[in-house]
Amino acid sequence: MVEEVKLMKGNEAIAHAAIRYGADGYFGYPITPQSEIMETLMEEAPWETTGMVVLQAESEVAAINMVYGGAACGKRVMTSSSSPGISLKQEGISYMAGAELPALIVNVMRGGPGLGTIQPSQADYFQTVKGGGHGDYRLITLAPASVQEMADHVALGFDLAFKYNNPAMILADGVIGQMMEKVILPDFRPRKTEAEIRAEQPWATLGKPKGRKPNIITSLELDSHIMERNNLRFQEKYRKIEANEVLYEELLCADADYLIVAFGSAARICQKTVELARAEGIKVGLFRPITLWPFPSVALKKYAEKIKGILTVELNAGQMVEDIKLSVECKVPVHFFGRLGGIVPTPDEALKALKAML
Amino acid sequence: MKQEIIIAGFGGQGVLSMGKILAYSGLMEDKEVCWFPSYGPEQRGGTANVTVILSDEKISSPVLNEYDIAIILNQPSLDKFEKAVKKGGILIFDDYGIIHAPTRKDIRIFKIDAMNTAVSEGYEKAFNMIVLGGMLKLSPIVSLESVMRGLKKSLPERHHKLLPINEKAILKGMEIIQET
């Protein structure tokens, strides 16, 4: 069967993909530039078809705690927001990491700090990949660069979250959320039945059958020796994720003298920069991390001895640049170009920055 | 073949929806399409713009610094985007609301009297379709048939009775656009 190609915004693609994935619930609170996620879910009314709950909570804090509750029952639940709202959710995310609960969180970033602007930004990179909430935890982070990936990363995010019992985040921004492109949506999957959840998530708090000890979901452990053991278990899990779940894309990197490293919307912009530079005979390639955590350090390191320089382009003051420098162990010069506060750099601006480092 | 287009004007002029119809028309012809709007408070009265890219190949950046075609519907947009038209490219403007006409000599400049025509023809709300018609005359990136199919796809069904008026407006635009 030929799949129907649709034209929609990145935000809308997330909503449709969530219904089709068989998500059990979405809890959110509106904020630009991601309100179309909840708007689309409300329009689609999946509670009448798949049974998926869609609820506008009274606040971001309420929404993330509803996600905690749903996840504790082994359900496929999600929330979405934009930067200021994601800051409000950090406590809940940390608690979910501590309680090892799987969930999907979408951040369609806007310029900050504070209430900032509603225009696109990537300034929440540190918050997302270095741990925005308290404690030694990691958040699986996917950075879509197209409307198609917005749709695809819903399933990927949920699958990774449930594989590792850890929250996962789709880290997009206003460009990817608001633009319309062609997309092929995934097939409909049935929601998990209670029997399936009991079998696949034996830790879920779905009511205690006779003869089984109660399941307890908590991040609290007052005995520090046990808490250290918990932390060591988390760390072991994080190393496994780092070893197995790295995703990245390479564009014209094989013969490149220089690399641009960029994610999400910046990577789309820099695809054009690469086109422009190649037309002028500059051998440059684009390396695009798709998972920001785990970061594709090993793949990037391979280029360290082969290339003359790296330019990282971000919609922030230079955040991923730190992970790039760590990855290449400063064996190759790493330059940075970015625009701040909601200003989106154009392909020629990035080209100018590239030429300045040649 | 790739066309990179900016449409800019006041919020409420139908700038974003004109772009959307163009994008849907591209979809009808199996082209790669990208529609990237300004999504700020502009939508409610300030300046609004949308980038539309139609291409036979995969589209790289949704954010551009120069365009093949600029459709300009107010002075602030002209100030901002006249310089962003590629050499040899096309600038279309409605001089209703334009105080200082475009001056570049290295691009082709066309005028379309869309606002006045929309009022005199009695379909003010199809103003943006007149402009779209003008553009299609100069650069038939998509066929009129695809535009009509795209329009049908992008309009909610309850508005489908307006399709004939929109077609009329597009044809009118093709008729009245003129080089300056």
B39 and A33 in contact by Cβ < 8 A?
yes
Mean pLDDT along residues B21-47: 86
Among residues A336, A303, A339, A302, the alpha carbon closest in space to that of A321 is found at A336
Output A353 or A211, whichever has higher pLDDT: A353
Evaluate whether residue A144 is within a structural domain: yes
A180: closest CA of chain B, how far (Å): 5
C-alpha neighbours within 13 Å on the C-beta side of residue A59: 8
Evaluate whether residue A233 is within a structural domain: no
Output B153 or A71, whichever has higher pLDDT: A71
pLDDT in tens, A306-342: 999 999 999 999 999 999 999 999 899 999 999 999 9
The yes-or-no verdict on residue A2 having pLDDT over 60 is no
- pLDDT at position B42, please? 60
pLDDT in tens, A103-150: 999 999 999 999 999 999 999 999 999 989 999 999 999 999 999 999
- pLDDT at position A219, please? 97
- pLDDT at position B12, please? 84
The yes-or-no verdict on residue A30 having pLDDT over 80 is yes
Domain check: are A11 and A141 in the same one? yes
Q: Which residues of B touch A118 (CB under 8 A)?
A: 39-41
The yes-or-no verdict on residue B119 having pLDDT over 60 is yes
Evaluate whether residue A290 is within a structural domain: yes
Give the 3-state secondary structure of residue B115. Answer: helix
Among residues B147, B25, B10, B26, the alpha carbon closest in space to that of B71 is found at B10
A180 and B40 in contact by Cβ < 8 A?
no
For chain B, the residues whose C-beta falls within 8 A of a C-beta of chain A are 20, 23-24, 27, 32-37, 39-41, 59-66
The yes-or-no verdict on residue B3 having pLDDT over 90 is yes
The whole domain housing A335 covers: 249-356
> Among partner residues B27, B59, B63, which is closest to A7 by beta-carbon distance?
B27
Calculate what percentage of chain A has a pLDDT beyond 90.
97
> Among partner residues B33, B39, B65, which is closest to A182 by beta-carbon distance?
B33
| Amino acid, res. B1 | M
Provide the token pair at A302.
């391979």
E strands of A59-135, at which residues? Answer: 77-81, 103-109
Domain check: are A189 and A276 in the same one? no
A179 and B33 in contact by Cβ < 8 A?
no
Domain check: are A187 and A262 in the same one? no
CATH label of the domain that carries residue A306: 3.40.50.920
Domain check: are A141 and A22 in the same one? yes
Evaluate whether residue A215 is within a structural domain: no
Among residues A294, A324, A327, the alpha carbon closest in space to that of A140 is found at A294
CA distance A147 to A107: 15
- pLDDT at position B11, please? 83
Phi first, then psi: what are they for A287, rounded to 5°?
A: -110, 120
B35 and A179 in contact by Cβ < 8 A?
yes
Average pLDDT of chain B?
A: 93
CA distance A202 to B9: 57
Which pLDDT band holds residue A61 (cuts at 50, 70, 90)? very high
- pLDDT at position B45, please? 62
The yes-or-no verdict on residue B122 having pLDDT over 80 is yes
Domain check: are A145 and A253 in the same one? no
Phi first, then psi: what are they for B59, rounded to 5°?
A: -95, 130
Q: Tell me the count of A-B CB pairs closer than 8 A.
A: 69
Which pLDDT band holds residue B1 (cuts at 50, 70, 90)? confident
Q: Which residues of A touch B40 (CB under 8 A)?
A: 118-119
- Residues in a beta bridge with A181: A8, B34
Which pLDDT band holds residue A200 (cuts at 50, 70, 90)? very high
Preceding omega of A30 cis (within 30 degrees of 0): no
Chain A's closest residue to B29, CA to CA, is A5
**Contact partners, residue A270, CB within 8 Å, separation at least 6:** A260, A262, A286, A313, A347, A350, B61
CATH label of the domain that carries residue A17: 3.40.50.970
B27 and A182 in contact by Cβ < 8 A?
yes
ipTM of the complex: 0.93
Domain check: are A179 and A311 in the same one? no
The yes-or-no verdict on residue A1 having pLDDT over 80 is no
> Among partner residues B33, B37, B40, which is closest to A181 by beta-carbon distance?
B33
B171: closest CA of chain A, how far (Å): 26
CA distance A144 to A292: 10
Q: Which residues of A touch B34 (CB under 8 A)?
A: 179-181
The yes-or-no verdict on residue B144 having pLDDT over 80 is yes
B35 and A346 in contact by Cβ < 8 A?
no
B118: closest CA of chain A, how far (Å): 28
> Among partner residues B27, B36, B65, which is closest to A179 by beta-carbon distance?
B36
Q: What pTM was estimated for this model as a whole? A: 0.96
- pLDDT at position A4, please? 85
pLDDT in tens, A82-106: 999 999 999 999 999 999 999 999 9
The yes-or-no verdict on residue B103 having pLDDT over 70 is yes
Q: Spell out the domains of chain B, with CATH numbers in brackets.
A: 2-179 (3.40.920.10)
- pLDDT at position A168, please? 98
CA A289 vs CA A145, A249, A262, A264, B98: distances in Å: 10, 6, 7, 8, 45
